[in-house]
Amino acid sequence: MMRFIQPIFIFTILTGFFFSTACGEPKKWEKGQGWGWVWGEEDEVGALNELTPEMVLKAVGLVKKGQVRDLGITYDRTSFKWPGHSPGEIITFRGPEGVQRQKDLDFILPENGNTSLTTWHSCALFINDNVATQIDGLGHAVTGEDNHWYNGFKEADWGGNWGLRKAGAETIPPVIARGVLIDVAAYKGLDALPGKYVITAEDLEGALQRQDVELRFGDVVLVRTGVLRFWGETGDDHEKLAEHDSAGMQLPAVKWLVEEHGAIMIGSDTSGLEMMSPPAPGSDSFMPVHNYLLIEQGVHIAEFHFLEDLAAEKVYEFLYVAATNKIKGATAGFTMRPLAIY
């Protein structure tokens, strides 16, 4: 009997060693449960607390060719957005003609030595913090009669007219991790999924098998619907984008990613990640996936990530690098350009 058990025991030890070294040993994640409010009552970071130097080194090791792909989309005042977000304006605040005409700055005057007539451009931005390529902060989604968000932070205690005072976007750490593209559109044989298509866990699993890629604990998972093939230069074809943008996941698929595989961030190429309309049966919210990820699990959401280049090149795993703008109290890192490097 001992001669039979011993090889199995050794195999089990080796398997566990491979998991811990290849995937990173979870600090707080539990299979079948995910995370929750497990990092302490003052935590504002959530699942990204799991990132370690060892995981970063493993992710950096995925870079073999030195190819860099920009996952950001170009935004301007005409760009398509989710209906619940406000538009933005980019206004030239100081430009050559205005500065020279107004003459309110002595140092630009020729008589003060500026005989080359040097001036500059700078802009004022009146912009929503949920536009274009973005990462939703953990204070973005709010629920309950007490208006609470992640970790039980309440509006009465931590809201304000000048931004959030807990779990703002400035608390999102730099994200350097293994990125995995799950190309559901290609799996379905489509250029882009139709609007209101519900991406299931079976779709995700089937696409991964087609791609010959396995998920690992600590992955940033990006799901392609194909909608951004219609973005063009600045996303001004609202009708075409709206035709496809509402495809997305609902709770079963997202829970499969978080609770079974330990995805530390989940994103897509759409404006809202989830299929919101009509709400899933039994749902008590118009955006239950946002509530589950941001509020309950502390898992950030990546939206409007441009995945067309990676899909065309059939690059399904890569080094994902993203750093949000550090604007204290903002609800999302917005107008970003995260990178996929392979």
pLDDT at site 8: 37
Q: What is the pTM of this model?
A: 0.90
Mean pLDDT of 197-210: 98
Domain 25-83+128-341 listed as CATH 3.40.50.300: no
- By CB atoms closer than 10 A (0-12, 13-18, 19+), residue 323 is middle
pLDDT above 80: residue 48: yes
Of 238, 334, 326, 305, the residue nearest 69 (C-alpha)? 305
pLDDT above 90: residue 183: yes
Between CA 116 and CA 108 the distance in angstroms is 10
pLDDT at site 80: 95
Q: Which residues of 21-54 are buried (b: 16+ CB within 10 A; e: fewer)?
A: eebbebeebeeeebbeebbeeebbbbbbbbbeee
- For residue 156, give both structure tokens: 């009465």
Between CA 92 and CA 87 the distance in angstroms is 17
Mean pLDDT of 269-294: 92
Specify the higher pLDDT residue, 5 or 264.
264
pLDDT at site 18: 40
Local structure of residue 196 (DSSP, 8 states): T
Q: Which residues of 99-109 are buried (b: 16+ CB within 10 A; e: fewer)?
A: beeeeeeeebe
- β partners of residue 301: 136, 266
Question: For tokens 């989604």, what's the residue?
Answer: 141
pLDDT above 50: residue 17: no
- For residue 29, give both structure tokens: 């994640």
pLDDT at site 23: 54
Q: Where are the domains of the chain?
A: 25-83+128-341, 89-126
13: pLDDT confidence band, cut at 50, 70 and 90? very low
Comparing 164-178, 196-210, 270-284, 321-335, the range with the smallest average pLDDT is 270-284
pLDDT above 80: residue 5: no
pLDDT digits (tens, 9 = 90+) for 132-155: 999 999 999 999 999 999 999 999
pLDDT at site 24: 62
pLDDT above 60: residue 159: yes
Between CA 310 and CA 32 the distance in angstroms is 30
205 three-state secondary structure: helix
- β partners of residue 266: 221, 301
Under 8 Å between Cβ of 215 and 261: yes
pLDDT at site 88: 85
Q: How many residues does the chain have?
A: 342
pLDDT above 80: residue 21: no
Angle at 169 between CA 166 and CA 171, to 5 degrees: 65
Comparing 5-9, 171-175, 285-289, the range with the smallest average pLDDT is 5-9
220: pLDDT confidence band, cut at 50, 70 and 90? very high
Mean pLDDT of 303-315: 98
pLDDT at site 49: 98
pLDDT at site 103: 87
- Strand arrangement, sheet containing 68-70: 68-70, 339-341, 317-322, 175-183, 220-224, 265-268, 300-303, 134-136, 332-333
Q: Which residues of 73-97 are buried (b: 16+ CB within 10 A; e: fewer)?
A: bbbeeebbbbeebeebeeeeeeeee
pLDDT above 80: residue 262: yes
